[in-house]
Structure 1
């Protein structure tokens, strides 16, 4: 359980989305709970074959470590479903709002990435070359096409999928265009997990695996703003998650009728 020390601050890091600032991007589609594993050879031959197999495995591991793993998240509430092209080839099709793709494995390089309205290649919302380094990244489409509250732009988040040990690692990404900076607390504000997260910010903390009722509230000096949403989550120890705060606090007067919510995906 989280220790309920009064106003205990469990925030590990907060700031603007880390990584690369771009001019626009979006995407997504697929489940996030698939686990990757490297099941290299179950048996080994005698003598020289052993050495050859081991060398081959080491080469495979080196190659895997040098790859880029990239996923895309469609978090723009007033944008249509989209298709995503990499190097002229479609890699994701008819991606709806709030979808987060599986990781796509690429060699680190510079790629032409184009995003269009689904089924309409002439309606291009993004067409740029992106430099993709090795590591794990989420390209998140933020803001609105209408730009009523926030301009449409992407953020490239560097994903930390390393083993968190016995705890669970949880990252918050503020992607709600009409929401102010927020605090996220549990226990009626007694434990502060995230503080002062503004639109476009990403913040990470680690907590024991358990069940929590997350309280999202406007940021205040004493973490006592009125709760705008409560979300039950049950992170497991040893796992890594991202919680995307999405939608509108006032959907009735927004460009799209998408209510404020929390989209939680497993990163590892």
Structure 2
């Protein structure tokens, strides 16, 4: 059986380091602050937000939740973002997605200051990431990269196949692996003969949103399989895009759902918030100290 990659344990290890760095920053008079904006009352979104708040508080950070009604106007939401952009006690801004249909998500993302874009979605941060400049990295891809490194996976020269081409996971994931010298193939809903690609993968990243779609016949012996999916099976049980029970015997390493990628996404959010605060604190010290 392949190695089960424990995202929860790896995430906890990194969060201890984040908490220690946060405490040192607080001693210098700068407490990292994360603001989360929640529009509407979607229960899944509320669960995600609650987890992010809990984790930021445990790390010693300031946590602010702004709840807006589902029928809030786009301008009112943008005004909220503008206020947070100007708030010196807030170093990271996260607007929980998805947003109601009447709101332009792209406009909201672009309204967040790139310096506080701890989700890593702003075009400026995406562009910097692609050309290898320092930027806030999209949290899930950054978390996956950290999982691979912490597990000792040698990425350079390996063939990585990405299933999915979303702006949040698929596209940035491929770029980050490319920068680690992997050979990258993107697959998506229009890809023909999918198995002919997935069976070549040394590293397979599944982010397609289809419950247990990837089975043992899709992968080659010893492949590293990262499951980004968050679905429910026919019994209502949480599951990923990968048939975990069927694939774990063939894979060299595999992430479970839950307990794999999920904890790392929140961890990278905290890491980005800390990074933003460190920049602000450094500027403050150099200017006034």
Question: TM-score by structure 1 length?
Answer: 0.27
* More strand, by proportion: 1
Structure with bigger gyration radius:
1
Q: Pick the structure with more helix per residue.
A: 2
